[in-house]
A = this chain, B = another copy of it.
Amino acid sequence: MFDSRRPVPPLIPRPLSLTAGEGELVLTRATTVGCHPAVVTADDGQAVVNDHAGAATTTATTTTATAATTTVGAATATDTTGDATATDTTSAATDTTSAATATTGGGDPVEQLGGVLAWLQQALRPATGLPLRESGQATITLGLAGNLGPEAYRLTVTPVGAVVLGGTAAGVFYGCQALLQLLPPAVHRRSPVAGQHWAIPAVEISDEPRFAWRGAMLDVARHFMPKHDVLRFIDLMALHRLNTLHWHLTDDQGWRLEIRRYPRLTEVGAWRRESQVGATRDAPGDGRPHGGFYTQDDVREIVAYAAQRFVTIVPEIESPGHVQAALAAYPQLGVGKEPLDVYTRWGINRNVLNAEESTVIFFQNVLDEVLALFPSRWIGVGGDECPRDQWRDDPRTRERMIELGLTGEEQIQAWFIHRLDEHLTAAGRRLFGWDEILEGDLAPGTTIASWRGMTGAVAAARRGYDVVACPDDRVYLDYRQSESPDEPIPVSIPLTVADVYAFDPVPDGLTPDEARHILGGQANIWTEHADSPRTVDYLAFPRLCAVAEALWSPAGGDYEEFFRRLRHHLARLDALGVEYRHAGGPLPWQRRPGVPGRPDTRQQRAAHIARLVENIAPQEVS
């Protein structure tokens, strides 16, 4: 039983502290799992586990959860079962978890703990083949601890059992992911693995994330991803302790969300006649229709599935640009009102929404259905890359500008976003938009996705808006992965795993107060050139692993050390069947020979972005 090897540390993300104990916990048929909803704990960082027998899995056992710092004596006095109700424990826990509930939609932590237990059974059973029955006196025990941060966990493994404590169920979930990482990578296979020794080294791990918004943006508008592949992507996010899926659902090239009030959005807008192959302006079309959409039942399923894994889905309905799929369905939304096809080209599109009141109401109605489907505090409305040519050239729009008291076309976009913002704010939600919206006045709660480098992050934080950092030159995972000409349809600048790993969401030059507006960051996965989930795998992994660690761990991680851990982590991706990019470059069948990309140098890209952000740049940054 004793194993003196230093345990392989839990890998992606890195734990804050890991202490190797002696021995290992061997999982056998007798391994049981259980919950102690309010096992509470700890004075000096040493978890003290209440293991009194027979604690029911659904009753709270202690009132000490209310104290942020408890003593060993208090923690061991938990035989006074029944003094607190489950509700008491819940409210105590939620007091300390505003950040986590913001991104997980809240809910009863004790019930969520039961959900984590069911998830853990389902995660451990397929490969191990063990029954892992529920038991009051369990080998693997999950519990809440009031003195931990909302997403923090403490994992203690000894030869007789493992205890996973979290500040909320989310923390427990991340502790369970750490537990899985301590098991052989084959634990991620979906049927029994013969001859595998299932042992967890004795360790103690305390860990918590640096940022509350640890995200990925997935573009399903340019290429639709079937529901089961989205669920798989969510599982892969959760494996990496990412907690926010920014879901880009609509764009010029497709509208993917069923809206019951406006069925043509998907009848017409959910497919296009063909797709551009390659990134150049003269790249040919493939002549092949492409499409698909999610029913509202599908969306509810995906949202709930994500919530069980503590992933919040932040939907995005693009406006007032990137709307040609909607215009194809409802031409009256457009400036010209002429019939349009769903767009079959990539790149910025001149067709935008008109400034009619009816168009505002249309989008508010769309958002009402979105609000009913997505409990997320944030709702994305886009706001990026909206050309103003049509507005400038249209007599009716100029009439509307006079009616609305607007003096320049650029104010139309701000006015439109403002109208959506009012609507979202009235519903208790917060508008989430790309950094272009900084060109207008914004409601105080607005959150900015800073994508054109970090200029938007600085500008927004200084103006008091919250920020999600996703600078294209660090975390745009559609960008080519190396200088090699073998990269499939290479666009923009090379972003290696090391480049991505160096991502820090907090820009230089902010005061501590300003820096508090940086909620975190996310990697963006645009799919113009990723026409199947297989290609998304190639673009996302392993770079998304590096993003996950950059968002979880303290700044300034050592890439060499990360890279050593990553090698081990790739065995997990192999077990999961993730078709990641190998360090040597694309496999032969991951290449796209002859399909033109549009590579830039870093200098070209920087100059281009600098021009774009001129009018939002704070003085000292521009």
Chain A contacts to B: CB under 8 angstroms: 114, 118, 122, 125-126, 131, 133-134, 186, 189-194, 226-228, 231-232, 270-271, 287-292, 295, 297-298, 300-305, 307-308, 532-534, 574-575, 577, 579, 587-595
Smallest Cβ distance from A131 to chain B, in angstroms?
7
* 18 more A-B residue pairs beyond the given contacts A191-B307, A226-B533, with a C-beta to C-beta distance below 8 A: A118-B131, A122-B125, A131-B134, A189-B297, A190-B231, A190-B301, A191-B303, A191-B308, A193-B300, A194-B304, A228-B232, A287-B593, A288-B592, A289-B588, A291-B587, A295-B574, A297-B574, A532-B532
Cβ contacts under 8 Å, A579 to chain B: 226, 292
Of the candidates B192, B307, B577, which one forms a contact with A228 in the assembled complex, judged by CB atoms under 8 Å apart?
B577
> Measured between alpha carbons, how far is A231 from B190 in the docked complex, in Å?
9
Cβ contacts under 8 Å, A118 to chain B: 125, 131
Cβ contacts under 8 Å, A290 to chain B: 589
> Measured between alpha carbons, how far is A303 from B194 in the docked complex, in Å?
12
Verify A588–B291 contact, CB threshold 8 A: yes
Verify B190–A589 contact, CB threshold 8 A: no
Smallest Cβ distance from A287 to chain B, in angstroms?
6
> Measured between alpha carbons, how far is A378 from B532 in the docked complex, in Å?
34
Cβ contacts under 8 Å, A590 to chain B: 289
Smallest Cβ distance from A196 to chain B, in angstroms?
11
Contacts A226-B534, A300-B194, A579-B226; A589 near B305 (Cβ below 8 A):
no
> Measured between alpha carbons, how far is A133 from B595 in the docked complex, in Å?
54
Cβ contacts under 8 Å, A191 to chain B: 301-305, 307-308
The residue in A226, A308, A574, A593 that gathers the most chain B C-beta atoms within 10 A of its C-beta is A226
Cβ contacts under 8 Å, A300 to chain B: 193-194
Instruction: List 27 interface pairs A-B (beta carbons < 8 Å), by A numbering.
Output: A114-B131, A122-B125, A134-B134, A190-B231, A191-B302, A191-B303, A191-B305, A192-B304, A193-B300, A193-B304, A226-B534, A226-B577, A227-B577, A228-B232, A271-B589, A287-B593, A287-B594, A287-B595, A288-B595, A289-B588, A290-B589, A291-B589, A292-B534, A292-B589, A297-B574, A297-B575, A532-B532
Verify B593–A289 contact, CB threshold 8 A: yes
Verify B271–A587 contact, CB threshold 8 A: yes
> Measured between alpha carbons, how far is A534 from B231 in the docked complex, in Å?
16
Smallest Cβ distance from A47 to chain B, in angstroms?
27
Verify A190–B587 contact, CB threshold 8 A: no
Contacts A288-B592, A289-B591, A290-B589; A193 near B301 (Cβ below 8 A):
yes
> Measured between alpha carbons, how far is A590 from B591 in the docked complex, in Å?
25
Q: Which residue of B has the minimal Cβ distance to A274?
A: B593
Smallest Cβ distance from A191 to chain B, in angstroms?
4
Q: Which residue of B has the minimal Cβ distance to A576?
A: B228
> Measured between alpha carbons, how far is A592 from B592 in the docked complex, in Å?
21
Q: Which residue of B has the minimal Cβ distance to A115?
A: B129
Q: Which residue of B has the minimal Cβ distance to A188?
A: B301
> Measured between alpha carbons, how far is A302 from B192 in the docked complex, in Å?
10
> Measured between alpha carbons, how far is A20 from B227 in the docked complex, in Å?
35
> Measured between alpha carbons, how far is A577 from B231 in the docked complex, in Å?
11
Smallest Cβ distance from A484 to chain B, in angstroms?
15
Smallest Cβ distance from A545 to chain B, in angstroms?
19
Verify A588–B192 contact, CB threshold 8 A: no
Cβ contacts under 8 Å, A594 to chain B: 287
Smallest Cβ distance from A502 to chain B, in angstroms?
31
> Measured between alpha carbons, how far is A589 from B533 in the docked complex, in Å?
17
> Measured between alpha carbons, how far is A603 from B490 in the docked complex, in Å?
50
Smallest Cβ distance from A59 to chain B, in angstroms?
14
> Measured between alpha carbons, how far is A190 from B299 in the docked complex, in Å?
11
Cβ contacts under 8 Å, A308 to chain B: 191-192
Smallest Cβ distance from A164 to chain B, in angstroms?
19
Of the candidates B122, B131, B134, B194, which one forms a contact with A122 in the assembled complex, judged by CB atoms under 8 Å apart?
B122
Smallest Cβ distance from A576 to chain B, in angstroms?
8
Smallest Cβ distance from A271 to chain B, in angstroms?
4
Cβ contacts under 8 Å, A302 to chain B: 191
Q: Which residue of B has the minimal Cβ distance to A303?
A: B191
Cβ contacts under 8 Å, A289 to chain B: 588-593
List 4 A-B pairs, minimum CB-CB distance, nearest first. A291-B589, A191-B304, A191-B305, A227-B577
Smallest Cβ distance from A265 to chain B, in angstroms?
14
Smallest Cβ distance from A289 to chain B, in angstroms?
5
Smallest Cβ distance from A212 to chain B, in angstroms?
23
Cβ contacts under 8 Å, A297 to chain B: 186, 189, 574-575
Smallest Cβ distance from A300 to chain B, in angstroms?
7
> Measured between alpha carbons, how far is A591 from B274 in the docked complex, in Å?
11
> Measured between alpha carbons, how far is A305 from B193 in the docked complex, in Å?
10
Smallest Cβ distance from A21 to chain B, in angstroms?
30
Cβ contacts under 8 Å, A291 to chain B: 587-589
Cβ contacts under 8 Å, A533 to chain B: 226
Smallest Cβ distance from A302 to chain B, in angstroms?
8
The residue in A134, A191, A231, A591 that gathers the most chain B C-beta atoms within 10 A of its C-beta is A191
Q: Which residue of B has the minimal Cβ distance to A224?
A: B589
Smallest Cβ distance from A298 to chain B, in angstroms?
7
Q: Which residue of B has the minimal Cβ distance to A590?
A: B289
Cβ contacts under 8 Å, A231 to chain B: 190
Smallest Cβ distance from A25 to chain B, in angstroms?
21
Cβ contacts under 8 Å, A232 to chain B: 228
Smallest Cβ distance from A283 to chain B, in angstroms?
13
